[in-house]
Amino acid sequence: MPNDAEDGFTNGHSNERTGLLNGDSGRHGGGSQRWSRRDDRFWVWIPCEAGHLTYATLASNYINILLVFVPLGLLSGFLKWSPTATFVLNFIAIMPLASLLSFATEELASTLGETLGGLLNATFGNAVELIVSIVALSKNEIRIVQSSMLGSVLSNILLVLGCCFFFGGINYHEQSFNSTAASTMSSMMTVASASLIIPSTLYASLSSSKADSRENILFLSHGTAIILLIVYIMYLFFQLRSHSDLFESPNVEAGDAGVEEEEEERILNPYAASILLLIVTSCLRMRRVPRRKHRAHLACKNKMDLAIGVAIGSSLQIALFVTPFLVILGWIMDKDMTLHFQNFETVAFFISGLVVTILIQDGKSNYLEGGLCLGMYVIIALGFYVYPDDAGDIGAVAAQLASRFAVSH
C-alpha cells in the first residue's frame, strides 16, 4: 500500500501547494523543491522556495555571474574610488542587470500577456523618474523636471524604438507587429503633443497683451493636466478591458502546441517576475542604458509587440500620466509647474511623434526604419547641444521687443 506522505497526501488532503514565487509546481522536479513543498511550516517553505527560484533565475543566463560587480560598483561610489574604476565597475554591472530586466519582462509577458507585461515594465521603469522629479519639484527646479520628462519621451520613441527596429531588422528581414495597437499609441502621443503646443501658442499670443500670462498659463496647464489624466485612465481601460483583443499580438496565434511550449519555458509567475523587475529597476536607478539594451534584446528575439509596448508605452505614461501628475502636484505645492515648454522642445516633441506615427502605421519594421529613428534622435540631440541656455520663447522675445519699442516712444 503506498505511503500517503510519499504521494504528497496527509490525512486525505493534498499537501502539494503552488510556490509563493513559482506558478508551475511540477516543472522543476529537483529534490530541494519537492522537500520545500512538503513542509507546511511557512518559515521553512518560503525561504526554500525563494532560494530555489533565485538559483533558477541566476542560472537562466551565464552573464549573471557578472552580478558580483553590482555591489562593487555601488561601493566604489561611496568610497570615492577613482572615476575610471567606478566607470569600469558600473559598466560591467549593467550587463547582467540588463539581462535580468529582459528576463523578468519576458516572464511577466508570458503569464500576463505582452500588453500588461509591457505596461508593468514601463511603470516600474518610470517610478524612479517620478520620484526624482518630485524631489526636484519640491526644490522648485521646474526646468529640470520639464527637461527630464521631455528627454525620457524623446529617448523612448526615437532612441529605444530605433534600436528595436535596427537590431531586430539585422536579425530578421522584416518584422511584423500589431499595427492597430501601435496606431492607437501614436494617436495618444499626438494628443500629448497637442497638450504642449497649445500652452506654447497661448504664451506667444499673450506676450503682446496686457493680460497676466502667468496666471493664464497656469490655469490652462491645470485644466489640461486633469484632462490628460482622464484620457490616460480611459486608455488603460480601453487597452486592458474593453478592447483588449485589439492589443493581442498576431504572432500568438500559433496553436495549443506553441502555448504549451511557451508554458514549459516559464520559470517565474507574475509575483516573482514583478519582484525581480522592481529589484532590478531599483538597482538601475538612473542608469537608462540597460533598459534600452533589454528592449533591443526583445526585438532581436522577434518580440516586437512587447518591445514596442514597453518603448511607446513608457513614453505615453510619462506624457499622459507622470507629467500631468507633476503639474497637479505642483498646483498643490504652490509651484509654477506648467505644460509650457520652450518652443524648440515642443517642436522636437511634435516632429518625433509624427515620424514615429508614419513609421509604424503599416505594422512592419526593418533596420532602415530603425536607422531613421536613430538619425532623427541624433539630429535633435545636436540641436539641444547647440541650443543656448538663455534662449527664450518667440513670445518672450516679442514681448521684449514690444517693451523696448514702447520705451523708445
Alpha carbon separation from 68 to 81, 86, 94 (Å, rounded): 17, 14, 11
Exposed (0-12), middle (13-18) or buried (19+): which is 268, by Cβ within 10 Å? buried
Question: Kind of pairing, strands 364-365 and 9-10?
Answer: unpaired
pLDDT value of position 56: 73
Domains and CATH numbers, the chain: 60-408 (1.20.1420.30)
Task: For residue range 117-141, list pLDDT tens digits in order.
Answer: 667 767 776 777 788 888 889 988 8
What end-to-end distance do the CA atoms of the chain give, in Å? 110
| Whether pLDDT at 54 is above 80 | no
pLDDT band at 331 (very low <50, low <70, confident <90, very high): very high
Cβ–Cβ under 8 Å, residues 266 and 23: yes
Mean pLDDT of 267-277: 69
| Whether pLDDT at 142 is above 60 | yes
Cβ–Cβ under 8 Å, residues 186 and 313: no
Cβ–Cβ under 8 Å, residues 286 and 94: no
Cβ–Cβ under 8 Å, residues 168 and 307: yes
Question: Where are any strands of DSSP class E within 153-247?
Answer: 175-176
Mean pLDDT of 340-346: 87
pLDDT band at 262 (very low <50, low <70, confident <90, very high): very low
Mean pLDDT of 101-130: 71
Exposed (0-12), middle (13-18) or buried (19+): which is 257, by Cβ within 10 Å? exposed
- What span, in angstroms and rounded, lies between the C-alpha atoms of 55 and 41? 21
- What span, in angstroms and rounded, lies between the C-alpha atoms of 26 and 383? 56
pLDDT value of position 328: 94
Identity of the highest mean pLDDT range in 9-23, 42-56, 217-231, 294-308:
217-231
